[in-house]
């Protein structure tokens, strides 16, 4: 069975409960959950019958125990999760203003996940990457490590690619995670140069390269396979031997929450490619799952809402990258 390593950070989420605060007033009630972009992708991959491990660091506290239990319940592998004594996971809070707009507040500077690239276990974790068919991570993942940690991670991915592992990079860009945009641009360039597949969007790239045209943005990414999502529900694809445009099917239900739209798209795309689908068919699968996810509150939809599983052609065998 094809396997994926998702690398990243899951945090404790405090979400303002509906009716928990009046407009213009502070306080209110909050519900607690867990959230993280690459973790969301890992959950959807597991639901799509892909064997997936989540690679991160957690504390030895009760909240970290709950995270592990929740991931195991979703069949996300936790054998690569490092537990650090005395540490805690990060935390973020979602607050709604009087117009219903969301604001995010983060407390993550000392979170356990930030140390994953500088632990006694780091070499073992990085060496394990060559045992997976795909290594998936996002720009948010890269933003939590320092420059030395990112260099170690990129070096390990390059070694794994020599044995046939593919690297999928999702450009999920959040400016607050970077010291400045120049650093982010440098890291993005390194990821683009290494990745086999890049999943990106106009929203992400225009935040880094303002004023550039669609063609200019796509030209920045030399990876052999590119999925470029536009502001409208359309994906432009570039892959060896061709290009394609894939439009999402029209929505038949109201949009409730766009959280994890990109994360679920990534999961469905990766699952379809691993199962032998071509990029256009994989993009259609991505749009299909994302269009369902945004009709439910929160990042992870109920299991019964998942789309019916499709049969795919057998996946091609791994080939080493020259």
pLDDT in tens, 257-283: 788 899 999 999 999 999 999 999 999
- Measuring CA to CA, which residue among 169, 165, 175 is closest to residue 150? 169
| pLDDT at residue 94, as a whole number | 74
Comparison of pLDDT for 105 and 209, the residue scoring more: 209
| pLDDT at residue 318, as a whole number | 64
Q: What percent of the chain has pLDDT over 90?
A: 71
Give the CB-side neighbour count of residue 233, counting CA atoms within 13 A. Answer: 18
| pLDDT at residue 100, as a whole number | 46
Q: How far is CA 104 from the centre of its chain?
A: 18
Residue 102's pLDDT band (boundaries 50, 70, 90)?
A: low
Residue 22's pLDDT band (boundaries 50, 70, 90)?
A: very low
* Domains in the chain: boundaries: 3-8+36-86+112-304
CA distance 280 to 303: 26
| pLDDT at residue 227, as a whole number | 98
Give the chain's radius of gyration (CA, Å).
19
CA distance 43 to 63: 18
Q: What percent of the chain has pLDDT over 70?
A: 89
Comparison of pLDDT for 86 and 95, the residue scoring more: 86
| pLDDT at residue 24, as a whole number | 44
Average pLDDT score over residue span 299-309: 87
Give the residue numbers marked as catalytic.
Answer: 263
Comparison of pLDDT for 13 and 120, the residue scoring more: 120
Indicate the DSSP class of residue 94. Answer: E
What is 3-8+36-86+112-304's CATH topology? 3.40.1190
In this structure, how many other beta carbons lie within 10 angstroms of the beta carbon of residue 88? 18
In this structure, how many other beta carbons lie within 10 angstroms of the beta carbon of residue 12? 21
CA distance 127 to 144: 20
User: Does 322 score more than 60 pLDDT?
Assistant: no
Inter-residue contact 116 to 145 (CB < 8 Å): yes
User: Does 300 score more than 90 pLDDT?
Assistant: no
Claim: this prediction has a pTM higher than 0.85 = yes
Mean pLDDT score of the chain, rounded to an integer?
A: 90
Those residues with Cβ within 8 angstroms of residue 197's Cβ, 6 or more apart along the chain or in another chain: 166, 167, 168, 169, 223, 224, 225, 226, 227, 273
Inter-residue contact 196 to 321 (CB < 8 Å): yes
| pLDDT at residue 97, as a whole number | 59
| pLDDT at residue 309, as a whole number | 75
Inter-residue contact 41 to 55 (CB < 8 Å): no
User: Does 317 score more than 60 pLDDT?
Assistant: no
| pLDDT at residue 23, as a whole number | 43
- Measuring CA to CA, which residue among 270, 300, 297, 240 is closest to residue 71? 300
Q: Which helix (H) or strand (E) holds 104?
A: strand 102-107
Comparison of pLDDT for 267 and 97, the residue scoring more: 267
Those residues with Cβ within 8 angstroms of residue 167's Cβ, 6 or more apart along the chain or in another chain: 134, 135, 157, 160, 161, 194, 195, 196, 197
| pLDDT at residue 287, as a whole number | 95
């Amino acid at each position: 069975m094809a396997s994926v390593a998702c690398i990243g950070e899951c945090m404790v989420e405090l979400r303002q409960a509906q009716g928990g605060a009046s407009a213009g007033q502070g306080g209110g009630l909050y519900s607690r959950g867990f959230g993280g972009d690459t973790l969301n992708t890992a959950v959807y991959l597991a639901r799509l019958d892909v064997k997936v491990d989540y690679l991160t660091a957690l504390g030895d506290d009760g909240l970290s125990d709950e995270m592990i239990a929740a991931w195991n319940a979703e069949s996300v592998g936790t054998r690569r999760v490092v537990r650090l004594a005395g540490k805690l996971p990060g935390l973020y809070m979602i607050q709604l203003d009087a117009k219903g707009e969301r604001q995010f507040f983060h407390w993550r500077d000392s979170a356990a996940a930030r140390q994953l690239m500088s632990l006694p276990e780091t070499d073992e974790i990085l060496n394990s990457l060559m045992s997976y068919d795909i290594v998936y991570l996002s720009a948010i993942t890269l933003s939590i490590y320092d420059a030395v940690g990112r260099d170690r991670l990129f070096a390990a991915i390059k070694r794994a690619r020599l044995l046939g592992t593919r690297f999928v990079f999702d450009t999920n860009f959040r400016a607050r995670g970077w010291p400045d945009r120049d650093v982010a641009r440098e890291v993005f360039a390194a990821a683009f140069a290494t990745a086999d597949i890049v999943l990106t969007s106009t929203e992400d790239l225009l935040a880094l390269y303002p004023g550039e045209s669609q063609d200019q943005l796509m030209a920045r990414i030399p990876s052999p396979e590119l999925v470029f999502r536009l502001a409208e529900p359309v994906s432009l694809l570039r892959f060896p031997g061709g290009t394609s445009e894939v439009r999402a099917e029209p929505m038949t239900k109201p949009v409730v929450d766009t959280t994890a739209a990109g994360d679920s798209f990534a999961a469905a795309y990766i699952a379809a490619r691993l199962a032998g689908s071509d990029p256009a068919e994989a993009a259609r699968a991505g749009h299909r799952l994302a269009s369902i996810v945004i009709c439910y509150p929160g990042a992870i939809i109920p299991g019964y809402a998942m789309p019916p599983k499709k049969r795919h052609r057998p996946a091609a065998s791994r080939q080493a990258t020259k």
